[in-house]
Amino acid sequence: MDFRQDFIKFAIECDVLRFGEFKTKAGRLSPYFFNAGLFNDGQSLGQLAGFYAKAAASSGIAFDMLFGPAYKGIPLVAAIAIALAGQGQNYPFAFNRKEAKDHGEGGTIVGAPLSGRVLIVDDVISAGTSVRESVELIRAAGAIPAGVLIALDRQERGQGELSAVQEVQRDYGIPVIAVAGLKDLMAYIDKHPALAEHRARVADYRQRYGVDA
């Protein structure tokens, strides 16, 4: 089993990936829900970071440091940096504050100075707001956004014909890498009879709203 299938299994076991009926921000009734905030203990966060590290390595994206947008990106970027260091790849990392600090060192960036090729890490891309803010911060510092690394790509249309991920790739000219996507979830369901009851609804949802990877 490849790491993407392992990740789907892990997310289901942690109850981060659930099946049922859930209303999305777009007002759609989705047959599944992914809440990365439920990776909320040391063991699960460490395992999650390991999956991110594998996705980064398999992507072929060259980068010099990591950046995590506040707030969800903050624990992620630290954990991923630790996971990569454990593999002998010691990358600097940084994250931003929502509000600029007016005392001490000041500013909005915490951690290593933004420089070189910066890989942005986040949980998912919905409206792409945090990615836009991250790209602006990175470019303002004279650094280069190298790509975005997320946990799950729902691979469904936004307001137009493109997905949120595709819109980011189009608007900023940078790749978006996901640990897993909807197609990986479908493949996992197909291999596990215990999940067969969910297949038809997930497949129908993908048919109605899905986009090509």
Q: Pick the more confident residue, 117 or 164.
A: 117
**Of residues 54, 72, 103, 198, which has the active-site annotation?**
103
- Looking at residues 107-125, what average pLDDT do you find? 94
User: Which residues, at least 6 apart from 149, have a Cβ–Cβ distance to it below 8 Å?
Assistant: 52, 55, 56, 59, 80, 119, 120, 121, 122, 176, 177, 178, 179
For residue 100, what pLDDT is reported? Answer: 63
Domain 3-209 CATH (choose: 3.40.50.2020, 3.40.800.20, 3.40.50.720, 3.40.50.1220): 3.40.50.2020
Provide the β-strand partners of residue 177.
149
Tens-place pLDDT, residues 138-151 = 999 999 999 999 99
Q: Within its chain, how far is the Cα of 59 from the centroid?
A: 13
Tens-place pLDDT, residues 9-64 = 999 999 999 999 999 877 889 999 999 999 999 999 999 999 999 999 999 999 99
192 is catalytic: no
**Of residues 25, 98, 101, 183, which has the active-site annotation?**
101
DSSP 125-146: -SSSHHHHHHHHHHHHTT-EEE
101 is catalytic: yes
